[in-house]
Amino acid sequence: MAYQFKLLKKDPGTGARLGIIHTSHGAVHTPVFVPVATQASVKSLVPETVKDLGVEMILANTYHLYLRPGHTSIEKLGGIHRFMNWNLPILTDSGGFQIYSLGSLRKITEEGVMFQSHIDGSRHFLSPESVIEIQHAMGSDIMMCLDECTPYPATFEEAEKSLDLTIRWAERCKQSKKNGTQALFGIVQGGMYPALRERGVQAISAHIGFDGYALGGLSVGEPKEIMFHVAENTVPLLPEDRPRYLMGVGAPEDIVICVGFGVDMFDCVIPTRCARNGLLFTNREKVVIKNARYRDDDQPVDSTCDCYTCRNYSRAYLRHLFMAGEILSMTLNTIHNIRFFMNLMERIRKAIGEGTYAQLREDFLKTYLSEISNRV
């Protein structure tokens, strides 16, 4: 079916929302956490395992796939779903954040971005039109507009200039959209300035209009208190009948807090990157598996977790794999971390449905943050 978003319920005590996104590759229940599959792969896992963990949508990276293997190759091979053997929804970002991260290797103009490849130094140019063309070719379910990610810190004048460019690029992205089955999300910039964020919302939503809306330019080095303040004051300004996506934010406590502001979608590399580095999430603590205290620990990472790793392996074995540099360490750790995030989202959706989200938020933050604080 064509793309559609349905808002099912709003929590009366907070801004939390329960919804469902319909795409031609299936439904996505919100609030949702979207694991990152940068190179059309969730690192260390086969797609069947990712699905078994409860993942309904993944994020692939436009910048990386444009450089290698190239969007024309992906299109010839049947599109990104067939290419990576994933028949559920896929969101592709615009590559704006990756280009922003290149620093001196890129030059931003009105027309687009000239940059050097981080792979071989070759020069490339991406415009709002070409970014949409690339995502059309890959066939993702949700595409993102090209935006300029405002750095932190930035002066009001710098943030305003960046916002204005993002708005002009958003208009060009929408004009370039051709495929009716693919949704296109606009991105709100504006730095850490409420007045600019409000103007960004008005321009992107009321004046242009998209299938969904994202907050960009957050989690780029600013203190969390500022990030929460911007999200809390900006998200409620976005249209109620469209998904609200907080890009690049994904620590468990951040998700639990920002769901209460009305955020529907999150993505982040945290669960997979932390897994590869031996940091495992539980409802009570973060387990640094290399620590000597786990050498003879025959307990699972989390006795309340239903993942394959926790059902079959001890902390002692996981520590052994990590210390030995075994590839299986990354696989088992990633299975656990992604399942932790999926279970967290399932609990959040259940609580919103039952009208108990505020209590879940209070209980989770009280336990989770206090345990982390006690171990720092």
Q: Which residue has the tokens 């009366």?
A: 12
Q: Which residue has the tokens 């108990």?
A: 356
Give the closest residue to 203 by CA, choosing from 147, 246, 131: 147
3-class secondary structure, 58: strand
Task: Write the DSSP string, 5-36.
Answer: EEEEEE-TTSS-EEEEEEETTEEEEESEEEEE
Name the burial class of residue 147, with classes exposed (0-12), middle (13-18) and buried (19+) by CB atoms within 10 angstroms of its CB: buried
Q: Which residue has the tokens 């490849």?
A: 117
Give me the catalytic one of 93, 147, 264, 302: 93
Q: Tell me the two tokens of residue 297.
A: 């620990």
User: CB-based contacts of 370: which residues, under 8 Å, 6+ apart?
Assistant: none
Taking the C-alpha atoms of residue 237 and residue 65, their distance in angstroms, rounded to an integer, is 33
Q: Which residue has the tokens 């992604």?
A: 338
> Does the annotation mark 267 as catalytic?
yes
Taking the C-alpha atoms of residue 89 and residue 91, their distance in angstroms, rounded to an integer, is 7
Taking the C-alpha atoms of residue 36 and residue 57, their distance in angstroms, rounded to an integer, is 9
> Does the annotation mark 141 as catalytic?
no
Give me the catalytic one of 141, 254, 267, 302: 267
User: CB-based contacts of 56: which residues, under 8 Å, 6+ apart?
Assistant: 26, 27, 28, 29, 32, 88, 89
Residues recognised as catalytic: 93, 267
